[in-house]
Amino acid sequence: MSDLLEVQDLRIRFPARGGGVSVPVDGVSLRLARGETLALVGESGSGKSLTALALLRLVPPPGVIDPASRIVLEGVNLLELQGEALRAVRGGRIGLVFQDAMTSLNPVISIGEQVRETVAAHRTLHGKEARERAVALLDEVGMPGASTRYRSYPHELSGGLRQRALIAIALAGEPDVLIADEPTTALDVTVQAQILELLDQLRTSRGMAVLLISHDLGLVAGRADRVAVMYAGQIVEEASTSRLFRSPSHPYTRALFGSIPRLDGAVDRLVPIPGAVPLPDAWPPACRFHPRCPEVLARCSVDTPPVVPLAPGEMSRCWLLVKGAK
Inter-residue contact 99 to 182 (CB < 8 Å): yes
Report the SS3 class of residue 30: strand
Q: Which of 215, 286, 304, 320 binds another protein (CB under 8 A)?
A: 215
Question: Mask: binding to another protein, 181-200, rule CB under 8 A, as x and -?
Answer: -------xxxxxxx--x---
Q: With binding defined as CB under 8 A, does residue 15 bind another protein?
A: no
Report the SS3 class of residue 322: coil
306 or 313, CB closer to another protein?
A: 313
Inter-residue contact 7 to 70 (CB < 8 Å): yes
* Dihedral, 190, 194, 196, 201 alpha carbons, nearest 10: 160
Q: With binding defined as CB under 8 A, does residue 295 bind another protein?
A: no
Q: With binding defined as CB under 8 A, does residue 76 bind another protein?
A: no
Strands 3-15 and 64-65: antiparallel
Q: With binding defined as CB under 8 A, does residue 72 bind another protein?
A: no
Inter-residue contact 169 to 114 (CB < 8 Å): yes
Q: Which of residues 123-162 bind another protein (CB under 8 A)?
A: 158-161
Minimum CB separation of residue 244 from another protein in Å reads 9
| Count of other CB atoms within 10 angstroms of residue 264 | 4
Q: Which of 2, 44, 82, 124 binds another protein (CB under 8 A)?
A: 44
The amino acid present at 53, given as its one-letter code, is: L
* Residues 122, 325: Cα–Cα separation, whole Å: 53
Name which of 303, 312, 313 is nearest 322 in CA terms. 303
* Residues 188, 117: Cα–Cα separation, whole Å: 29
Please identify, among the stretches 3-11, 86-94, 130-138, 250-258, the one whose residues bind another protein according to the rule CB under 8 A.
250-258
Q: Which of residues 220-249 bind another protein (CB under 8 A)?
A: 221-222, 241-242, 245-246
What are φ and ψ of residue 264, in 5° steps?
-100, 165
Q: With binding defined as CB under 8 A, does residue 100 bind another protein?
A: no
Q: With binding defined as CB under 8 A, does residue 296 bind another protein?
A: no
93 or 223, CB closer to another protein?
A: 223
Q: With binding defined as CB under 8 A, does residue 201 bind another protein?
A: no
Angle at alpha carbon of residue 124, lines to 120 and 127, rounded to 5°: 55
Please identify, among the stretches 54-62, 82-90, 212-220, 296-304, the one whose residues bind another protein according to the rule CB under 8 A.
212-220
Angle at alpha carbon of residue 102, lines to 61 and 170, rounded to 5°: 70
92 or 142, CB closer to another protein?
A: 142
Minimum CB separation of residue 270 from another protein in Å reads 4
Would you tell me which residues interact with another protein (CB under 8 A)?
A: 43-44, 158-161, 188-194, 197, 215-219, 221-222, 241-242, 245-246, 255-264, 267, 269-274, 276-277, 292
